[in-house]
Structure 1
Amino acid sequence: MKKLFKPFSLVLVIATLMSLIPTPVFAQEVNGNLANSMGPLTLIPPIVAIILAFATKNVVLSLFLGIFTGTVVIQYAGGANMLLGILYGFTDIVDYVLASLADPWNAGIILQVLVIGGLIALITSTGGARAIAESLAKKAKGPVSTQLITWVLGLMIFFDDYANALIVGPIMRPVSDKMKISRERLAFLIDATAAPIAGIALISTWIGYEVGLINDAFQSIGQDVNAYGIFLQTIPYRFYNILMLFFVLITSVTLREFGPMRKAQKRSRDTHELIAKGSHMENQDEELEVVVKGKTSVWNALIPIGSLIVFSFVGFYTNGRQAILDSNNAAVIQVIENSPFSFVSMREAFGASDASVVLFQAALIASIIALIMGVSQGHFTFGKGIDIWVNGMKTLMITGVILLLAWSLSGVMGELGTADYLVSLLSGTMPPVLLPTFIFLLGAIISFATGTSYGTMGILMPLAIPLATAMQPGNPDFVIMSTGAVLTGAIFGDHASPISDTTILSSMGAGSNLMDHVKTQLPYAVAVAIISILFGYIPTAFGMSVMLALPIGMIAIVAVIFIFGKKIDTTDNLSEE
């Protein structure tokens, strides 16, 4: 009860303060954006959720109380007194959760998470996970090669950040555990190669959304551009994405760590505790262990996982192609019909696909394949296989709960206009050379507070491109740089946020406690972000070539790692020098 007292006390304090503020008349504004009228009160939900998440390490409670304070603020804005505001605010939580679950995209994401959990359980039960771990272990001679293999796998699953988080973790976890690499470090490896690579890949589930935002923003200022061409030009300016991938590579090769990650690696090396004591993920592996009957083979893992990837690619194309054919975009339809397998067609189809549906379908097919393989090889009966699959889904049930609450919190903040208030609060006159940096920081703050990179991109892109065009007319590089800053700042904030879905999925995939993952990853994300600003956006805004800024940024990354980091070889039980 003592652990719950402080969070509820915080909510009570907020409610008391709100009750002391004269209740304004919002009757005409309740159905609109409350950002202008509520001001700083719109920041209460994300602040409560984030502070409590760090303070209590209980993400479910923190998100719930964040939603609750948000619904109370909304009721307060409608003119309700504090008692009724608390009462109706509590009942409104159900409405937001149901609305989140009713969204087809959200429902598809939860289904794919659960089904992939069942798939991993089947692969584990047939011995496929153990066999592939033993096979990889032959190549992974130590922590360096293990982390490099994880990094490469992360780059290979470039087409979707969710698939990356849920595939790489379960594959590499046994090998990583054998090398005494902490679960926090594994979660970082996964998270740092999920959104950063999916956001800049030439073909991925992100591209259609990003290109669409770019196109709409340019059209709003009367310019008809090749949006995909603009996207390609932003890639060198995606400093955070590129430098984070480089940061992971260098720290993996040198084994140098700093901050909380260094402590986690020392704990894993010296005490063999892969997960910090008291973490909620400690018994996850035992829940998935099933005695294997018969000979194990790497094909028991490679075939189901390979089918997941293959059917994902096929699904992205067919689903996106059908969506395009059903649309009114005559130009793209003509390209799809005339050259169905050209690069342009593939790019457009992937961008138009519904990743939530496709990945769910692919995971279901892969599960059926894994089930048939397990039964045919005598590892379990058909009925037992179904039980294993269902039990595997149960292990990721908490992930679904957290995602639902995170989406509900996002819905509350959307109604309050939290992001709009942040934009109005932080915007103002500034020197043009600082605009890309400002956009990057603003995107980071919004995405960190809201836990969504997509939503942040959608808010800032229509503002950034017209603003950059007006500040430096006739300078296309400046506009492209500012466009890249929107996309990259959103990914940085999302990467660091404890309420981000990709952060949640990465920790679950690695078998790490969520808040342990956030605390160890945050200093690394901030360090790379600072380097991205100091050696990326500021010098390029002053006219430095991006092809010169990128190598300088990489040198800065190496310098930071060697200055602040110390080598932690988790296979070395000797005391640190």
Structure 2
Amino acid sequence: MFASALRTRLPLVFGLLLLGWLGTSLTPSASAQSVDAPRVVLNDIAFSVTVSDPDQQLTPGAQIQVGSATASLEPDGSTWTAEGLVVEETGAYTVRLVQGGTTISEAATRALPGVVSLLPPLLAIGMALAFKRVIPALFLGIWVGAWMAAGFSLSGLFVGLLESLEIYVVGALADESHVAIILFSLMIGGMVGIISKNGGTYGIVERLVGWANTPRRAQLATGTLGVGMFFDDYANTLVVGNTMRPVTDRLKVSREKLAYIVDSTAAPVACVAFVTTWIGYEVGLVGTAVEGLEGFNQGAYSIFLSSLAYSFYPWLALYFVFVVANSSRDFGPMARAEIRARTTGQVVSAEANLDKAAEEDNDEMRPKDGIPLRAYNAVLPILVLVGSVLAGLYWTGIDAAGSDASLREIIGEADSYTSLIWGSLLGVLTAGALSVGQRLLSLEETVEAWYSGLKSMLFAMIILVLAWALSDITGVLHTAEYLVSVLGTTLPPGVVPAIIFVLAAATAFATGSSWGTMGILMPLVVPLVWAVLQANNMADPSNYHIMYSAVSCVLAGSVWGDHCSPISDTTILSSMASGCDHIDHVRTQLPYAMSVGVVALLVGTLPAGFGFPWWLSLLIGAGLLSGALRLFGTPVDTQGEAAVSPSSDESSQPQEASMPST
């Protein structure tokens, strides 16, 4: 009976399967096209929509419709793009792919007022400054941004909370370059843990205090090391901060001053040095930005080199670091921090919010009792780290650029993240081999020291990941595009570089990312500058200085805003490496960064846009900064050049100075 029923119904079953297959195969091609529309758009700000067409079924004349806005799709292989779409009203919109008068695919987007795109970063910055708690402030900014992206509603508030981690924090961790930075930072922390435990760090301290036996000399030595670590800002920050902290602690230099020197000799020198991990990124951005500029044929690297003369903020920031260090004068909150450190020995403020885990690990980081304090046990791993990074840059660069390329081109094409990981691994292995080989530490003690150093980095890594996630939020909300639109496009040519400098600084301050700001603004402002020059009949070599200055202002303005922002990754790393309360670092550095930035803008960038000699602007700016420090600065060394003896009674030293925490 069962077999009979099966034979009776089998044709019906096959018929249904055949109809299902035919229905699938005959489904209109709409399912083959996928519309990728921004989740959020801003009123009166142009946006683009892409359509993937793997089966190549779209034809010329296909359009994207959003409300009353319509734009034609332009093909690029299997992807089509519609640009210049603008909506005027807030609310939900349906993005339609139309071909031959028929809608064949749809997507959804939501339009918001442009000004609200500033809310998440401003809220995070305000909360961080007001309550001195960076992690809750960052997470609140991410949550509010995710809520805005999900829609302003009660349900959107809950969805935004979930998506804060699900999409944005996970997305920050999924980025390969971010993972490389985290891994490099953790390995650096582990290396510092080993060289602290094996006595190498104290060996450096004993050697350095032979010359750096005054607060002034300690600050100058820190600045010199910072310039010496020119090739990468992350390596600069972590190595210099951790290495010099025991020296400056012993000589009663505040952690705030140490963090300032470390921060202000990291990105500025990496931004302008010829051979750095920034070169490839910067030149790549410039090259992309100048592509298609009719009548402008200069190479990207040549433009970058020409722009260095107009990088007023990085040059003046480096100059001001050494002027401040040499003068023994400070102003604003930094002066109060330095006077506190000199008079009371407290290198951190009483209200400082330091990483408790790192402070508790200080005993673990002390040199092992009875072992010799040999400086080379720290110097050799650091040299291996630096040398390996440089060798890695050359190795990966020559593989990409070719054997006939110049050194600058090789470094420019190098894989900086791979090089940093290689260098940090070899540095850790060298530190471990020296410790075990000399029987200073057992293998188990070496691993424990490495882990102690690594643990002290976790708090900063959490902040760093949240800062990256917030930067992603500002990208989703088109914060940078809104800032660009506010300025407009009808600008006098000579003023354009100054406006770009302010715009880059504002964007970097709001997003906390100098590299992100460069990547967002460079493709936007370079064509804008060239269009302004053409509109004013100035698109000739005699006015190329405006283009050079504009390019430099994207870079320099990004660094300026990065220095002022409490959510900046390098600012966070500087605080962490120096053992300084993060908000204290921002609060004390801000007046210095603002002073240099204003002088760079008014004396450097603005006059240079109208043809004033760049070298004369640098000289005048340097003179003004020196004069301002002399006029407004307060002497913080009450006994002038009186040395703080490294052999003085331990009871007079701050507790933090007796241990090289990471």
Q: Which residue of 1 is the match for residue 547 of structure 2?
A: 479
CA–CA separation in structure 2 for the residues paired with 1:26 and 1:53: 35
Q: Does structure 1 conserve the Cα–Cα contact (< 8 Å) formed by 2:480 and 2:521?
A: no
What does residue range 527-546 of structure 1 map to in structure 2 within 5 Å? 527-546=595-614
Deviation at 1:291, TM superposition (A): 2.4
Alpha-carbon deviation of 1:220? 2.8
Map 1:302-451 onto structure 2 (within 5 A): 302-322=379-399, 324=400, 332=401, 336-338=402-404, 344=406, 346-451=407-512
Match of 1:67 in 2: 142
Change (3 A) 1:213 1:562: same
**1:16-35 mapped onto 2 (5 Å cutoff):** 24-28=91-95
Aligned residue type for 1:251: V
In 2, the alpha carbon distance for the partners of 1:57 and 1:260 equals 15
SS at match of 1:262: helix
Distance across 1 between alignment mates of 2:114 and 2:122: 14
Quote how far apart the aligned CAs of 1:242 are. Answer: 0.4
**Corresponding residue for residue 132 of structure 2:** 57
What CA deviation, in whole Å up to 9, does each residue of 1:163-187 have, x standing for no partner?
Answer: 0000001111111111100000000
Tell me, yes or no, if the aligned pair for 1:294 and 1:377 is still in contact at 8 Å.
no
Say whether residues 1:154 and 2:222 are aligned partners: no
State whether structure 2 residue 274 is matched by structure 1 residue 199: no
Contact kept? 2:135, 2:466, Cα under 8 Å: yes
Tell me, which stretches of 5 or more residues in structure 2 are unaligned? 1-88, 97-105, 534-538, 643-662
TM-score (norm 2): 0.77
Aligned 8 A contact 1:105 1:357 in 2: no
Matching residue of 2:185:
113
Whether 1:87 and 2:184 are equivalent positions in the alignment is no
- What amino acid is aligned across from residue 216 of structure 2 in structure 1? V
Q: How far 1:503 sits from its partner (Å)?
A: 0.6
Higher RCO, Cα 8 Å, sep 6+: 1
Query: What is the identity, as a one-letter code, of the residue corresponding to 2:148?
Result: V
AA at the equivalent of 2:507? I
1:260 aligns with 2:333: yes
1:139 counterpart SS class:
coil
C-alpha RMSD of matched pairs (Å) = 2.0
Aligned equivalent of 2:112: 37
CA distance in 2 between counterparts of 1:269 and 1:115 reads 33
Aligned equivalents of 1:456, 1:201: Cα separation in 2: 19
Q: Which amino acid aligns with 1:52?
A: M
CA contact (8 A) 2:117 2:479 kept: yes
Deviations 1:541-572 (A, max 9, x none): 22211121111111111111111111111777
Give CA deviations for 1:252-311 in whole Å, capped at 9, x if unaligned: 111111111011101111221101113232764625224244222111011111100011
1:56-78 deviation line (CA, Å, top 9, x unaligned)? 111111101110000001111xx
Instruction: Report the AA paired with residue 569 of structure 1.
Output: D
Q: Which residue, out of 293, 297, 303, partners 1:230?
A: 303
Equivalent residue of 2:272, what SS? coil
Does the Cα contact within 8 Å between 1:269 and 1:573 map onto a contact in 2? no
Give, in whole Å, the separation in 1 of the partners of 2:563 and 2:109: 27
Contact 2:93 2:109 in 1 (8 A): no
Contact 2:237 2:577 in 1 (8 A): yes
**C-alpha separation in 2, matches of 1:282 and 1:98:** 24
Residue 531 of structure 1 aligns to which amino acid in structure 2?
Answer: V
Query: Residue deviations 1:380-421, cap 9 Å, x none?
Result: 210121111112100010111011101111111111111111
Identity of aligned residues (%): 39
Q: CA–CA distance in 2 between the matches of 1:397 and 1:320?
A: 31
SS in 1 for 2:468: helix
Q: Per-residue deviation at 1:573?
A: 12
* Larger-gyration structure (1/2): 2
Any conservation in 2 of the 1:127–1:292 contact (CA below 8 Å)? no
1:464 aligns with one of 510, 525, 530:
525
1:126–1:292 CA contact under 8 A, matched in 2: no
Residue type of the alignment partner of 1:158: F
Pick the structure with more strand per residue.
2
| Separation of aligned partners in 1, 2:302 and 2:319 | 25
Distance across 2 between alignment mates of 1:32 and 1:453: 31
Q: Deviations over 1:84-140 (max 9, x none)?
A: 111111110122111111111001111111111110010000100001011000011
Conservation of the 8 A alpha-carbon contact between 1:528 and 1:557: yes
Give the equivalent residue in structure 2 for 1:246: 319
Contact 1:251 1:257 in 2 (8 A): yes
Residue type of the alignment partner of 2:275: I
CA distance in structure 1 between the partners assigned to 2:227 and 2:113 by the alignment: 43
1:562 aligns with 2:630: yes
Q: CA deviation at 1:318?
A: 1.4
Q: Partner amino acid for 2:475?
A: G
Residue 466 of structure 1 deviates from its aligned partner by 2.2
SS in 2 for 1:220: coil
Task: For residue 213 of structure 1, report the CA deviation from its aligned partner.
Answer: 1.4
Deviations 1:367-388 (A, max 9, x none): 1111111112222210121111
Change in 2 beyond 3 A, CA 1:52/1:570: farther
Residues 510 and 571 (structure 1 numbering): CA distance in 2 closer, same or farther, change over 3 Å? farther
Aligned-residue offset at 1:23: 7.4
When residues 570 and 210 of structure 1 are mapped into structure 2, their CA distance, relative to the original with a 3 A threshold, is: farther
| Alignment partner, residue 15 of structure 1 | none
1:216 alignment counterpart = 288
Measure, in 1, the Cα distance between the counterparts of 2:282 and 2:443.
44
Query: How is 1:275-294 mapped onto 2 (pairs within 5 angstroms)?
Result: 275-281=348-354, 284=358, 286-287=362-363, 288-294=365-371
Residue 490 (str. 1) matches residue 558 (str. 2): yes
* Offset, 1:428: 4.1
Q: Is 2:93–2:108's contact at 8 Å kept on the other side of the alignment?
A: no
Q: Which moved more, 1:513-522 or 1:465-474?
A: 465-474
Q: Indicate the larger mover: 442-451 or 142-151.
A: 142-151
1:501 aligns with 2:572: no
- One-letter amino acid of the structure 2 residue matched with residue 299 of structure 1: Y
| SS state at 1:204 partner | coil
Aligned residue for 1:543, secondary structure, equals coil
Asked whether the equivalents of residues 526 and 547 of structure 2 are also in contact (C-alpha less than 8 Å), the reply is yes
- The answer to whether the 8 A contact 1:160-1:205 is kept is yes
For residues 71 and 28 of structure 1, the distance between their equivalents in structure 2, rounded to whole angstroms, comes to 21
Q: Cα gap change, 1:98/1:431 in structure 2, threshold over 3 Å: closer, same or farther?
A: same
- CA positional deviation for 1:359: 1.3
CA contact (8 A) 2:186 2:454 kept: yes
Q: Residue 138 of structure 1: which of 192, 210, 214 is its match?
A: 210
Distance 2:232 2:448 in 1: 29
Aligned pair in 2 of structure 1 residues 520, 257: CA closer, same or farther (>3 Å)? Answer: same
* Residue correspondences, number: 532
